[in-house]
Every structure is written in structure tokens, then in C-alpha cells.
Structure 1
Amino acid sequence: MTTHAPPATSLDPQLLTPELLRAWAWHKQGLDGALQGASAAEVFTQAGWARSVGGANPYLTLFARAGISRPQADADVLSLKIHELPTARGCTYVVGQADFAWGLQVGRGAAVAPFRVLARMGVERGEITLLEEQILHALAEAGGPLDPRQLKDELGDSVRSLGEEGKKKGAATTLPTALGLLQADGRIRRVPVNGRLDQQRYAYTLWGLPPTTMEESDVRCLLLERYLGWTGGATFKQSQWFTGFTVADTKAAFAAVGAVEVPTAGGDVLWMLPDDVDRLALFEAPAEQQIQLLAGTDSLVLLRRNSGDMFAEQDRGKKVLDSTLALQADLPDHPILDRGRIIGLWQYDPGKERIAHWLFDGPDPAAMQRIAEVEAWIRDELGDFRSFSLDSPASRKNRIDALDAAG
């Protein structure tokens, strides 16, 4: 990848206020309507991969930005236009087809890491390699997906139990490590058993995805370039958190993509792509309201884990269940936003088929209309809105009650 000399930025830091930067990130995420009509793969390419963890975030990511329904998203999963893969830091994201191979390469190191734990318990690499081949054979013989329990039954003693020591280290058997390595190589893929992204029950099937031909350094540069494009600019620390890169690798990638340092009115220094520096110089925050309900793990919030920056100054002391919202790295509830500013919080109450919400400044016609639209969409297409695999109506009851009380 060509290394670019970073141009000097002429942006006045005092003009880069929190309000403007919130609206800029909102725009870069396509939450201003710019992605209406886009395909699911285009949304993930332009706005960022969608964190899954067995929750409904991927669906709301697509619905909020492009109006894509759950059936359409599920059809795109089935036809492999989009897919859930382990990538940055080994975390699972839903990504577009063009990113499958290099996205897997980004997460390859995390797939290898568990073997180091097994090695300390006397498991040799040859044993895992043999198990990988046996898994491939079992899947070929089955002619369709097998879940981990079915695979374990088929493989019998080839799957070694690692006893109490293994359980303590998160490796009860050798099977997950072998599956992770095969998945990272694109030789198998994990598929949701009922076709839905918000239910964390999976089976494995053969794949045979051709590996990327890109060099490791080029893969790192591409990820960082995408990340800066998705966010519209991020601090060094934020970039490291998302990518998992070392300091040296992060600096090298910044240099290769020509990223420049941009001081802001709040004192942070953002690294930005040169084209975005030029666009930001001409950018004006929208004058009209743009209300969206997003998941707490939406790319707008998660990519930089900077939800505290999204609260207006007068809302920074807001609390729910004695926790100050602006001081938490990750939101405990889902945000209601207007042009990048968090104006309220919400949770879905499936028992009453409603969205429990707290609007900080009280009811607002535009916000109430959007709440009703998302409420109907969840009721009709999802049935519930889970944050992650273990989320349940019972587990979020206290939060629902707290939002009702606050609102």
C-alpha cells in the first residue's frame, strides 16, 4: 500500500465543537438518510460492520439507515451477501461479501490464541490439525450443517476433554479451538440454526472461501482506513481499541493511509483521512431534527466507545439506577438520538409490546413518531429486541421500570 505524506490541516480547532462533531459522526454513519435505499452489504461497507453477539443490533442497523426489513436481511444472510464472521479482535461482526476474506484475516490472530492455552495443557498442534480434518470429513459426510453437540457425537474420542483445568481456562474440550481455526481459514462457516441473527444457536457447514492475497500490513491498513471512514475521525486510543493493533502497527497504518491529526475544541486530537478533513471543513450540521432509535452496540456508539461525548452538557449528570450515564464506557440502555446527540434512552418490553422510554426534555412530536415506528417494527418483525444472547425480558425488567419512572 502506498504511503502518503499527510497534508497540513487548516481546520480551526475552535470550530470543531462537540455539537458539530456529533453531527459529523451522524452523517458519516449514514443516519441522516444518506443510505436510504442502500443494500445491506453497502450499509456495512459505508457505516461499519455490525456487532452481533446474538442480539438484534444488526437488524436495527439496517432498518435505521436503509429501511431494510428483517426478512430481507435474513435473505441476504442465506444468499451470503452478508455474513457474521469473527474479525477485528476476534469479535463477531456482520459484514458484506466483499469483506469476507480479508475480514477473516484480520481476526486470524485471535483464532490462533486459544491454542496457546491448549499447548500449556499438553495438546500438540498435530492433534488439533487431525481434529480439523476429522471435522471437515464429518461435515462432508453429513451433507449439511451440524451443531457442536452433533459434531462432538460424530467425532467421539477425537474430541479431548481438558477437565477442570480446561474449564477454568475457558477450554473444556479441544473442539472449539479446532472450529475457530477452521472458521478463520474460511474452510467452514457458522450459520444460525433458524436463519436469524438475533438467536445465538449455530451450526457449522463447509465453506471453502478463497483466502485473501493481501499482505498482513495491507490488511491492517485497509481496516484502519475503513475505521476512520466509518467514524469520521478517531483518537489514537480509540483506533487501537477497535483494531487491536499494537502501537507500532497503528502508527504504520496511519502513515500508510495518510491520516492527519486534527485538534478539536474539546481538546481531543482526532486522526482523520485527508478527504474527510476537506469535507469536514465544508460540513454544516443539519438544522432540522433527525431522530433515530439505535442499539447500545450500534456502530455510532461502539466504534469509539464514546457515548459520553454524545450527551449535551446539561444531560451529562443524568442517572439511571444510580449510575451516571455519561461516565460509562458502554450504555446500559439503548439510545434515542437527534443528529448524534443522545436525547433519551429506551428498552423494549415484549410483555406489553411497547418501547419503554425516557426523553430527557419530555415528549417531542418527532421523537414520539419515531418511537412508534420502531415499536411497530420490533413487534411485527422481531418479536423482541435483545441486546445480546443472554438478554431476556426478565433480565431487563429493572431497567424498563427505571426508564418508566424517569420518563
Structure 2
Amino acid sequence: MATDKLRAWWAHRQGLDGSLLGASAADVLERSGWMRSVGGSAPYLGLFARARLDRETVDADVARLAVHELPSARGCTYVLPAADFELGLTVGAGAPAGELAAAEKYLGVTQAEIEQLCVTVAELLEASAGPLDPAAIKNAAGAAVRNLGEAGRKRGTTTTLPLALGLLQARGDIRRVPANGRLDQQRYGYVRWTPSPRGELPDMDTAQTELARRYFSWAAPASLKHFRWFSGFTAANAKKAVAPLELVPLDGTDLLLPKELADEFAAFTVPSEPSYALLAGIDGIHLLHRELSRLLDDADAGRPVPGRAGEKLGGQADPPSHLIVDRGRLAGLWEFDTQTNKIVYQAFGEDDAALRKAVAETEEFVRDRLGDARSFSLDSPKSRASRVADLRNSGH
């Protein structure tokens, strides 16, 4: 199977070829997949690249619950469309349950104690006129929140409150509200979620198969290994989840795709013109599979990682900076320099007019709508300075 065809197809299914231009945020997420945020700019960059959505439009969709950031696959937070709220919460429910089990085992916490705290927190939020942040909840709950001492500090759970908040979120009883309405930060308040997106608890086998169905519509051709990475399922659960889907193997590979896409994929041809997109390093074009080498030409796999002596790009699990992709191929790296309000980038080929146009459009979006393009919540101009300098020395 020609690598360039696979890459271009992945980019097409991800809507990076203009096919999602003008779509809503919910439509983009349903077609291309849930988006990781981790307090960075990834959702904004991804939605801009695919549909040219501005930040204000996305924030309005978050405020009206057309899309929302929820704990879901692997217990990690993703931005999901409303149609997937219940599914995301269901498949992610194992993470807070596991945290509670660990706290019971190692920290002397009881299920009854946390359930009572859940009732207390829910009542506090029900009575509140607005969102309450964790500090305000802790103060209002008083003795219902217990400090877990040095043992808790070592395990990263200093009080019982996060355990209750995790369970309440997974059950769809409460939700996090961004403090300033934006996805690219990690300051939150909590509110009651009424009506809850959770109905009768679906059968977990059904939920896992529905997650597999969505995943392979976003990411196929993909392997079971890729799906296991995204879902966090065991090998047995992954096989069980995909069994009803009747996925078709791609000749000569371990990759699978849905039957309904097989003919379309066979007829697909690589576009002749470049189609550049500037994306976050955790965008779905990479993170749905988390196999960076599949996006790299052989020559580019041997490129040195900027600023990391002796390291090659093909040896990285994740990209060292934000991505420039062209028809699915990793065509460069970029960062935003807040000192100059410009994008600094390294192109892995010709720096043509199409690339310069894509850079200019993204630069304007980041400068005027976002103010910065952080990779994650703790990313800052200071922590990024060396990456910017390394890219400037190796590119533009």
C-alpha cells in the first residue's frame, strides 16, 4: 500500500483537505474525532484548520453545550460533540472508579465516605447561583472533605474532594465550566448538569463497540494496536469491541477499515496540489494513532530533532513542536513566538506559496483570536523560548 495514499486518506477523513470548511464544531468532531485539549490550543487550532471556525464561535458552542470538554477515552479529557456526551462519559467511567479503588486500598478511604461527599457536593452546586471552583467547594463542604495527609500527597490525592468530583463528572451529575469560557486554560468551576446526559447505564460491551465504530470512522485504516492506544482497552476487550463491526483488512498490513469505506478508499487518489494545515502536536492526525513515523517520509524520519543532540524525528513517540501537514505528511514543525507575534517554523521541503499562505492565516488567527498557541496548560513563552530559538535556527 502506497504510504502517500494512506496519509492523504487520513487527512481527507480528518477534514484537512477543505471538505469540512464551514461545518459546525459539533459536525467537525463527529466526522474527524474527539479533540484533546490539556489546557492548550489544540481544539481551536484543529477546528480552525478544518472548518475555519474562530474562537468566539467555538466558545459559544461550549457555552450552549453543543460541544463540551469531558473525561472520556482512557479517562482523559477530550472535547466532544453533544451526540457523544453519554458515550464519552460511559467509556471513561473506569478511571475515577479505579482512583477510588486505589484510595480505598492505600489511603483508608471508604466508598460510603465518598458517596456521602458526592451528595454534599451535588447539594452545594444545586444551591449555588453560579459555578464553584474546587477551593470554594472545599470551604463550603467543611469537614465532609478529609485531608489524606502525607500518604495522599505522595499519591497525588491530597483530599477526598477530587475523588468525589471525578465520580460526579463520570455520572453526568456535574460538569466543569471554564473560568473564562475558554478551552486553552485549566481553571474551572463546577455546576450541576441538569438534565444529565447520562440515561440508563448502557451495557458496557455496547458502549465499547460504539466507541470502536466511531474510532474506525475517524482513523481507519488503523490497527487494533492503534485502537487500544486510543481506548485504553485490554487486548481482549478491544477484539470484542470491534467484532460486530466486520472490519475489512487492508492487504499486506495489519490495518483495518469499515466495509462501507472500503470502496471509497480503493477509489481514492492523492490530490495533486498541496494542502497545508498548521495543527497542534496533539491533533488527531497524530494522536488517534500515536505512531509518528507513519506521517514521515524516510528522509524526514532521519532529521535531527531541533535542539536535541543525537535524537532523530523518526524515533519520537510524539512531535517536539506543533505540526505542519500536507496531505497527511508531516511537512514541518512550528511554534508561536509571543515576542514577535509571529510563527517560527521549519519546513521539510520547498517553502512554497501555499505553505506561506497557510502560515500567514494561522499566524493571524493565533495573534488576533488566541493570543498564543500553547501546547498544554503549563506551556508558556518562557518554557517555549528554546524551542522557538531551535526552530528559528533550523527554519524560518
TM norm structure 2:
0.96
* Superposition pairs of residues 13-28 of structure 1, within 5 angstroms: 16-28=1-13
Following the alignment from structure 1 to structure 2, what is the Cα–Cα distance between the partners of residues 380 and 226? 34
Question: Could you tell me which of 324, 332, 344 is aligned with 1:336?
Answer: 324
| 2:255 matched residue in structure 1 | 270
Q: Is the 8 Å Cα contact of residues 331 and 349 (structure 2) preserved in structure 1? A: yes
Following the alignment from structure 1 to structure 2, what is the Cα–Cα distance between the partners of residues 141 and 147? 14
Following the alignment from structure 2 to structure 1, what is the Cα–Cα distance between the partners of residues 344 and 39? 22
| 1:317 matched residue in structure 2 | 302
Following the alignment from structure 1 to structure 2, what is the Cα–Cα distance between the partners of residues 360 and 234? 25
Following the alignment from structure 1 to structure 2, what is the Cα–Cα distance between the partners of residues 47 and 354? 28
Following the alignment from structure 2 to structure 1, what is the Cα–Cα distance between the partners of residues 240 and 262? 20
| 2:282 matched residue in structure 1 | 297
| 2:58 matched residue in structure 1 | 73
| 1:203 matched residue in structure 2 | 189
| 1:256 matched residue in structure 2 | 244
Matched, 1:49 2:34: yes
| 1:244 matched residue in structure 2 | 232
Q: Is the 8 Å Cα contact of residues 102 and 212 (structure 1) preserved in structure 2? A: no
Following the alignment from structure 2 to structure 1, what is the Cα–Cα distance between the partners of residues 132 and 374? 25
Matched, 1:112 2:100: no
* Deviation by residue 1:6-59 (Cα, 9 ceiling, x = unmatched): xxxxxxxxxx21111001101110111111111100100000001010001001
Q: Is the 8 Å Cα contact of residues 90 and 107 (structure 1) preserved in structure 2? A: yes
Question: Could you tell me which of 383, 387, 396 is aligned with 1:399?
Answer: 387
Following the alignment from structure 2 to structure 1, what is the Cα–Cα distance between the partners of residues 236 and 102? 26
Shift in Å at residue 362 of structure 1? 4.4
Q: Is the 8 Å Cα contact of residues 117 and 169 (structure 1) preserved in structure 2? A: no
For structure 1, which segment, 206-215 or 111-120, has the greater mean C-alpha deviation from structure 2 after superposition?
Answer: 206-215
- Structure 1 counterpart SS, 2:44: helix
Unmatched 5+ stretches in structure 2: none
Unmatched 5+ stretches in structure 1: 1-15
- Quote the RMSD (CA, aligned, Å): 1.1
Following the alignment from structure 1 to structure 2, what is the Cα–Cα distance between the partners of residues 83 and 286? 34
* Deviation by residue 1:289-336 (Cα, 9 ceiling, x = unmatched): 101111101011100012211111221111122221111111110111
Q: Is the 8 Å Cα contact of residues 289 and 338 (structure 1) preserved in structure 2? A: yes
Task: Give the residue type in structure 1 aligned to 2:238.
Answer: T
Q: Is the 8 Å Cα contact of residues 84 and 94 (structure 1) preserved in structure 2? A: yes
* Superposition pairs of residues 27-176 of structure 1, within 5 angstroms: 27-120=12-105, 121-176=107-162
| 1:6 matched residue in structure 2 | none
Following the alignment from structure 1 to structure 2, what is the Cα–Cα distance between the partners of residues 76 and 84? 11
Q: Is the 8 Å Cα contact of residues 161 and 174 (structure 1) preserved in structure 2? A: yes
- Structure 2 counterpart SS, 1:396: helix
Q: Is the 8 Å Cα contact of residues 309 and 326 (structure 1) preserved in structure 2? A: no
* Superposition pairs of residues 157-236 of structure 1, within 5 angstroms: 157-208=143-194, 209-213=196-200, 214-236=202-224
Question: Could you tell me which of 308, 311, 329 is aligned with 2:293?
Answer: 308
Q: Is the 8 Å Cα contact of residues 111 and 181 (structure 1) preserved in structure 2? A: yes
Following the alignment from structure 2 to structure 1, what is the Cα–Cα distance between the partners of residues 24 and 191? 25
Task: Give the residue type in structure 1 aligned to 2:299.
Answer: Q
* Deviation by residue 1:83-140 (Cα, 9 ceiling, x = unmatched): 0000000000000011111210010111211111210221111100110011011112
Shift in Å at residue 167 of structure 1? 1.1
Task: Give the residue type in structure 2 aligned to 1:273.
Answer: P
Identity among equivalent positions (%) equals 46
Runs of 4+ aligned residues of structure 1 deviating over 4 Å after TM superposition are none
For structure 1, which segment, 33-42 or 321-330, has the greater mean C-alpha deviation from structure 2 after superposition?
Answer: 321-330
- Structure 1 counterpart SS, 2:189: strand
Q: Is the 8 Å Cα contact of residues 105 and 212 (structure 1) preserved in structure 2? A: no
For structure 1, which segment, 212-221 or 33-42, has the greater mean C-alpha deviation from structure 2 after superposition?
Answer: 212-221
Q: Is the 8 Å Cα contact of residues 43 and 66 (structure 1) preserved in structure 2? A: yes
Question: Could you tell me which of 347, 361, 377 is aligned with 1:389?
Answer: 377
Following the alignment from structure 1 to structure 2, what is the Cα–Cα distance between the partners of residues 40 and 159? 38
- Structure 1 counterpart SS, 2:159: coil
Aligned residue-pair number: 389
